[in-house]
Structure 1
Amino acid sequence: MQILRPLAHGPIARLWLGQSLATIGEQLYRIAYAWLLAGMIGSGTGFALALECVAVLLVALAAGGFAARCSPRGSMIGADLARAALALLPIVATAGHRLSVPALLVPSVALVAMRPLFDPALQASLPCLARDRQILVGANALMDATARIGRLVGPSVAGVLAAVLPTVGLMGVTSACFVASALAVHSLDPRLAPTRADAGGTPWRALGQGWRAVRAQAGFWFFLCAGGVINGLWSVAMWLALPLALRQVPSHVAGRDGLALVSFVVAAYGAGNLLSNLVTGSRCVQRPVRWIFSGQAVIAIGFILLGALSGHVTSRPAFVALTAAAGLAGMGAPLSDIPMATLRQSLFARQDIASVFRLKMIFDWSGMLIANLLAPLALRYAGASTLIVACGTGIGLVPLIGVLAPRLRAASVAWSVSAPRPLPRSREAALPAVHALGHRPGPPSS
């Protein structure tokens, strides 16, 4: 299978293993955090999630200048170790009988804010480790699979550990997982030299580099805007409305601890993620835009069903149907994310990848900020289940608009590929590489 080919390369295999452990730990933390916070402040959890978005945006805006002075390895190790320490703070607060909303919120916001340091460095590193486009597709699928494995294994582990550990104890496991990830990245020292991912030493010059690179690719702006909309609606549906909806499930279905119910639904979503990842990562994606839109449509259908069913979970068969809907929603993300990652890394030169990805993060988290600020207001007029349906409907409108946009249809043909080819290593080499991808005007090809 193409997705397994990069595992023959030791550096990619070690990086993947470390990322798998980190994402499992992160899921343990997110489930524990969402459950504790929803129990403390209810629908106000939306404002807490919005605060996380603000922190990510601020770090993303400021991280470009810092990244220009650090190697990808240094950025990733530093972010992992910081996250390991932050994950322990709620445990310390609990031991001192001082667990409160601020004691949960402050370290959680800081932990999420490390992502603009880690994720762009990881994206810029993959083309350095991959030799050609085929291996890069497999490597992207593997790294995408880490999030899917985390959503499958993490909630399953959380459901088991909830019977023997207090909820806050899951955060200690998270800390150990981040330490393991830092050790895996450290082993890649000879492979991850600085790539000058960001131009200049100021945040604005670094963002300007990404801005100019995206402007050169007609149609790519749509995907940045679409990412903000989809990620905003997804975060509200998954981490705010879903836990609130499942808190209303009768105890004879949910069991003594409703946290286990949330864990199993999220695990079903992760199972759909992983299954779809294995299929998508083993295919040669020749028309990436079609795959991207198809994945977004599947996500929309899954969330509409998830919302419709979450308000009627009164028996075990209804719960099985709910988990099936979650699995369907999960199948859409890899169909969209893997082709998008490979397209982004193929269109842009290596030194532009981190800047473009950081620009993507700004759009994504801006969408999440706006959606989570509006979500508590929406919950005043609609129930949690209705809000999930509304989020799914909004996600479904994105690919519909994209299909109807003439300029994007032309770009989708231009971005089609038919064979493996070397990746652009510098900005000077990017233009020929883009032409090799078929980036030229003309009629649609068969």
Structure 2
Amino acid sequence: MTARLLRPLGEPAIALLWLALATSAIGDQLFVVVLSWVAAETLGTAAGYLAVLQASVLVAVTLAGGGWADRRRQPALMIGADLARAATLLLLVAAWLNLGRPPAWSLLLAVLVLAAGLALFRPALQSSLPALVRDATLLPATNALLDTTERIARLLGPGLVGLAGALLSLADLVSIDAATFLLSAAAIAAITRLRPVPFVPPPPETTLASLIRGFRVVRRHRLLWSALTLTGIVNGSWYAAYFLGVPLMIGAAGVTGPGGSGIAAYGLVISAYGSTNLLGTLVIGNRPMPRHPERLVFGGICLGGVGVTLLGLGGLWLTPSWLLPAFCLAAAIGAAGGPMQDIMVATLRQTELPRADIAAAVRAFILANNLGLLAALAVAPALFDALGRAPAVLLFGILYAAAGITGWLRFTRRPDGPADRA
């Protein structure tokens, strides 16, 4: 089943990139679970404002730094982003060890720098891939293969938190994340020697013009534009449910995992999400670009919304003894939809947009994603307090599923061709 998916690994540059991203993604998941748990335990529903801060930085860097980033060579930009994030995490660990707990300023700094690094790294990576892949027909498989790094991380990272919790401190887990960024930077430096990425300069323009260009180029592609207009609702609902709602519901119900800890239970839920996330990536990655990619894009969004809806229903109806298996099942169901959307959208950007416009288009998606996340998480703490944890998650699930249904109806009502891409 995986023959097509593994073909890009025959390229040494892609194989090295995959290893670098897989290592870094697992480290990121360690940090995300630690940060989510510590913040929810310490701040309660107000923990959502840390994610608001993260999204605000992503929006700010996307708005202010896009034009500057386009004028830099992409590998150098990715290496710089990795080194800055590693240094910040090591500073957080030093402060943590010195004081016995992470000071508030160090957590805020980590959120700020990691978000800024992501805003610079991701567009550079996406726009580099067409130059790294010799056979353009393998771009869907390459996107799926690189997508497996995050899926594997969601499967292994949170589970490692539960298993390693008895052996390593939370500060140790953050140190591991810092080390993975250093390894990623070294791998990208090696890739530039194996297969140099030619620099394609953008047209001379201001940062605002670069951002507008990204939206304009996406606007001309009907399927990508539909996905862009819905991505804020999808991302905001997903984040509010999994990184605020689930830990709060687990903590309130007293649910525990291996070793009797709540964070281990939360890690198992995210690992269950990662399991079918990875399986879905293997299936989608082995398929050529379908005639009707919109069916996968919006079907995947609908499936993700079903998963979040089931999380809310489980929290409303089930006793604490049933919550952990129910949450794991709901997360596994919803996770299958992620690759259906993500791989199709990434491949369409790389194959049907001009190469000089890919980074600008990726930034348009980042901006829309995080504006939606900001809106969702700005209201989420008040919503959780007013409605209760489970009803609020249920509401986010309904919004999530409605976004997928809306996109599906746009295309079934106007059958203008395979994807009506022009």
What residue in structure 2 maps to residue 204 of structure 1? 208
In 2, Cα distance between equivalents of 1:34 and 1:247 = 12
What residue in structure 1 maps to residue 284 of structure 2? 280
TM-score by length of 2: 0.93
- The answer to whether residue 133 in structure 2 is matched with residue 130 in structure 1 is yes
| Deviating 4+ runs (over 4 angstroms) | 251-255
Q: How does 1:39-438 map to 2 (within 5 A)?
A: 39-97=41-99, 99-190=102-193, 191-196=195-200, 198-200=202-204, 202-250=206-254, 255-286=259-290, 287-311=292-316, 312-315=318-321, 318-405=323-410, 409-410=414-415, 413-415=418-420
Runs of 5+ unmatched residues, structure 1: 416-438, 441-446
Answer with 107-116 or 359-368: which moved more.
Answer: 107-116
What residue in structure 2 maps to residue 430 of structure 1? none
CA contact (8 A) 2:22 2:153 kept: yes
In 2, Cα distance between equivalents of 1:54 and 1:365 = 7
Answer with 294-303 or 124-133: which moved more.
Answer: 124-133
In 2, Cα distance between equivalents of 1:91 and 1:3 = 38
| Residue 92 to residue 252, structure 1, CA distance change in 2 (3 Å) | closer
Shift of 1:156: 1.3
Answer with 361-370 or 401-410: which moved more.
Answer: 401-410
In 2, Cα distance between equivalents of 1:340 and 1:392 = 22
In 1, Cα distance between equivalents of 2:333 and 2:408 = 22
Answer with 15-24 or 253-262: which moved more.
Answer: 253-262
Shift of 1:407: 8.9
In 2, Cα distance between equivalents of 1:192 and 1:306 = 46
| Residue 81 to residue 247, structure 1, CA distance change in 2 (3 Å) | same
Q: Match of 2:4, as an amino acid? A: Q
CA contact (8 A) 2:309 2:398 kept: yes
In 1, Cα distance between equivalents of 2:112 and 2:41 = 18
Shift of 1:218: 3.6
Shift of 1:411: 5.5
| Residue 131 to residue 35, structure 1, CA distance change in 2 (3 Å) | same
What residue in structure 1 maps to residue 33 of structure 2? 31
Give the superposed CA RMSD.
1.9
Larger helix proportion of the pair? 2
TM-score by length of 1: 0.89
CA contact (8 A) 2:257 2:263 kept: no
Shift of 1:69: 2.6
In 1, Cα distance between equivalents of 2:295 and 2:255 = 43
CA contact (8 A) 1:300 1:396 kept: yes
Shift of 1:201: 5.2
| Residue 68 to residue 403, structure 1, CA distance change in 2 (3 Å) | closer
| Residue 185 to residue 199, structure 1, CA distance change in 2 (3 Å) | same
CA contact (8 A) 1:199 1:209 kept: no
Shift of 1:111: 1.1
CA contact (8 A) 1:148 1:271 kept: yes
| Residue 401 to residue 63, structure 1, CA distance change in 2 (3 Å) | same
| Residue 253 to residue 196, structure 1, CA distance change in 2 (3 Å) | closer
What residue in structure 2 maps to residue 2 of structure 1? 4
In 2, Cα distance between equivalents of 1:82 and 1:399 = 37
In 2, Cα distance between equivalents of 1:134 and 1:196 = 21
In 2, Cα distance between equivalents of 1:211 and 1:289 = 19
Shift of 1:412: 5.9
In 2, Cα distance between equivalents of 1:304 and 1:268 = 16
Shift of 1:105: 2.0
Shift of 1:252: 6.3
Q: Match of 1:227, as an amino acid? A: T
Shift of 1:249: 3.0
Shift of 1:126: 0.7
| Residue 168 to residue 378, structure 1, CA distance change in 2 (3 Å) | same
Q: Match of 2:378, as an amino acid? A: L
The count of corresponding residues between Structure 1 and Structure 2 is 416
In 1, Cα distance between equivalents of 2:141 and 2:7 = 7
